[in-house]
Amino acid sequence: MINVDKIREDFPILKRTVHEKPLVYFDNAATSQTPQIVIDTIVDYYSNYNANIHRGVHTLSQEATDKYEEARIKIQQHFNAKKAYEIILTSGTTHSINMVASGFASLLQKDDEIIVSALEHHSNIVPWQMLCEKTGAILKVIPMNDEGGLQMDIFHQLISKKTKLVFCNHVSNALGTVNLIEEIIDTAHKFGAAVLIDGAQATPHIKPDVQALDVDFYVASAHKLCGPTGVGMLYGKEEWLQKLPPYQGGGEMIETVTFKKTTYAGLPHKFEAGTPNICGGIAFGAAIDYMNSIGFNEIAAYEHELLEYATSELLKIEGLKIYGTSAKKTAVVSFNVANIHPYDIGSILDKLGIAVRTGHHCAQPIMDYYQIPGTVRASFSFYNTKAEIDVLVKGVRRAVMMLG
Ligand SMILES: *Cc1c(COP(=O)(O)O)cnc(C)c1O
């Protein structure tokens, strides 16, 4: 059971006010808040052992290296990767996806096919379009349905021996739909295609097991699961990481350098050119520890309760429509009220201290499907409360009265 009052004590930002109202933070799908223990980890790093890693013989450098590599092992264990070197630390999901996309440029041929889902974040569409332009490969899209899920029958028709890659998010950031990634992975593998799953939106709520999923690549950002911004991960099966060429040239990723020939370092360093976000990586490990200390089963159960409560209370408002009604979804409510522009509702809510996201949520194709300019999106975390949802519902009613 979640003790939410106790958990809220861990997050200093939750004590602040906005426009003289207590902050109600419902923009967790964009970024999560940071617990004191992660903030302390960051302060400790810069106060006590800030140094560049892997290269120095001196004590500070060794301490920083040890902590950084400990964080990699925490991430490995959390995602149940077979080897620590299958975890590449990146600057975030976008960086991780671009790494894989750019690596595949050398593996694809003209008329090979890539399948992406219609529920993607822009960061998961643009790199594949660029890859197709570069290689002559063809991009195919799994269409969505009214509930905000994927038309899986069409996926089964699209996939063939020509398919080399399938990309899908584990959870849609705009709607919260949990996608049927097991079915996607199993099917893709029958045709010899690799699968990359974007876990940016799933990892705050679900603890994925990359070996059980048998997924080829899995990516996530620390800042969505109580860690800092600017750091994330790429999990890749060893065989794939060996096959892909390095993403960037620079320090750290080389074994020997002469002007005739450079040989690349082994994993994970082959993909970690330059000085990484050392402090961020260590804090990412601390965030994972923190989330696990609360427990993902407890988090999922509590957030589901918040989702059900918010859904039923919001639906009592006349003219309110929720987008994304899949039976399996995370704690995200995307909605509009009658013809009121989502931005106008969001602005009034801000005056009441309530932080929600409005707009297309980096997922324009979903908005086009519903033929709307955007939605108001309230996304919940385990540190939110039902009382805060009451504040939101009251706020939306007030906004509708003023704007309707
Ligand atoms: C947030 C998000 C991203 C982008 O993550 P960055 O940390 O901005 O790189 C990609 N995909 C999904 C589903 C997201 O929610």
The full set of domains in the chain, from first to last, is 4-28+296-403 (3.90.1150.10), 49-292 (3.40.640.10)
Ligand 1 within 6 A of CB of 135:
no
362 noted as active-site residue: yes
**What's the rounded mean pLDDT across residues 224-233?**
98
Distance CA 139, CA 75 (A): 32
- For residue 10, report the distance from its CA to the centre of ligand 1, in Å: 25
pLDDT score, position 295: 97
For the record, the structure tokens of 182 come out as 């097991």
Ligand 1 within 6 A of CB of 201:
yes
Question: What is the pTM for the complete model shown?
Answer: 0.96
Q: Are the C-beta atoms of 188 and 195 separated by less than 8 Å?
A: yes
Distance CA 251, CA 369 (A): 45
Nearest of 79, 81, 72, 99 to residue 284 by alpha carbon: 72
Q: Which atom of ligand 1 is nearest to the CA of 199?
A: 13
- For residue 200, report the distance from its CA to the centre of ligand 1, in Å: 5
Distance CA 170, CA 327 (A): 15
- For residue 330, report the distance from its CA to the centre of ligand 1, in Å: 15
- For residue 373, report the distance from its CA to the centre of ligand 1, in Å: 20
R_g over Cα of the chain? 22
Ligand 1 within 6 A of CB of 94:
yes
Judge whether residue 183 has pLDDT over 90.
Answer: yes
Ligand 1 within 6 A of CB of 282:
no
pLDDT tens-digit map of 111-169: 999 999 999 887 678 899 999 999 999 999 999 999 999 999 999 999 999 999 999 99
Out of 100, 124, 198, 217, mutate this one to test ligand 1's pocket (max ligand atoms within 8 Å of CB): namely 198
Q: Are the C-beta atoms of 219 and 200 separated by less than 8 Å?
A: yes
Bin 338: left if φ > 0, else alpha if -120 < ψ < 50, else beta.
Answer: left
Q: Which atom of ligand 1 is nearest to the CA of 93?
A: 9
Q: Which atom of ligand 1 is nearest to the CA of 120?
A: 13
pLDDT tens-digit map of 243-281: 999 887 777 777 777 777 777 778 999 999 899 999 999
Distance CA 208, CA 195 (A): 15
pLDDT tens-digit map of 333-367: 999 999 999 999 999 999 999 999 999 877 888 99
pLDDT tens-digit map of 70-97: 999 999 999 999 999 999 999 999 999 9
Ligand 1 within 6 A of CB of 363:
no
Question: 153 to each of 6, 21, 146, 183, 223, how far by Cα in Å?
Answer: 46, 48, 15, 11, 34
Q: Which of 168, 226, 279, 362 is catalytic?
A: 362
At 378 the three-state DSSP class reads: strand
Nearest of 390, 395, 337, 388 to residue 28 by alpha carbon: 388
Cis peptide bond N-terminal to 268, omega within 30: yes
- For residue 182, report the distance from its CA to the centre of ligand 1, in Å: 21
Nearest of 171, 168, 170, 227 to residue 193 by alpha carbon: 168
